[in-house]
């Protein structure tokens, strides 16, 4: 039985103005490719997260298209310069149209 995908974010909660920080994201998801069959020989429908988007204060930082070869529980990391205090928002789009979201605030001193 599939569980609800759970996003996790790891990044500093504070930074200095203009500092480059590493953002690490992980989402628990089985990423069914659509190539396997169940015990009765019927194809298991494809169900993957096909798009990841990261924004800072509403401005898009990056969008990544993922394909069936991506692993289960996909991990995405990147570096970003933090100019001001704000909120990072992350979205994962599933084949079935489901959107999983997470937010992380950062305070700049």
Question: How far is Cα 106 from Cα 4, in angstroms, rounded to an integer?
Answer: 27
Provide the pLDDT confidence category of residue 13 given band limits of 50, 70 and 90.
very high
Question: How far is Cα 103 from Cα 109, in angstroms, rounded to an integer?
Answer: 20
Question: How far is Cα 14 from Cα 33, in angstroms, rounded to an integer?
Answer: 38
pLDDT digits (tens, 9 = 90+) for 16-51: 999 999 999 999 998 888 888 999 999 988 889 999
DSSP 8-state symbol, 40: T
pLDDT digits (tens, 9 = 90+) for 68-106: 788 899 999 999 999 999 999 999 999 989 999 999 999
The SS3 assignment for 51 reads strand
What is the CATH architecture assignment of 6-36+46-108?
A: Sandwich (2.60)
Q: Given its phi and psi angles, is residue 67 left (phi above 0), alpha (psi -120 to 50 degrees) or beta?
A: beta
pLDDT of residue 1: 42
């Amino acid at each position: 039985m599939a569980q609800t995908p759970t996003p996790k974010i790891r990044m500093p909660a504070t930074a200095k103005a203009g500092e480059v920080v590493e953002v690490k994201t992980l989402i628990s998801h089985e990423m069914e490719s659509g190539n396997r069959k169940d015990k009765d020989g019927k194809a298991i429908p494809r169900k993957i997260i096909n798009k990841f988007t990261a924004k800072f204060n509403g401005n898009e930082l990056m969008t990544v298209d993922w394909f069936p070869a991506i692993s289960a529980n996909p991990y995405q990391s990147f570096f970003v310069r933090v100019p001001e205090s704000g909120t990072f928002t992350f979205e994962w789009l599933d084949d079935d149209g489901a959107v999983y979201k997470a937010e992380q605030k950062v305070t700049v001193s």
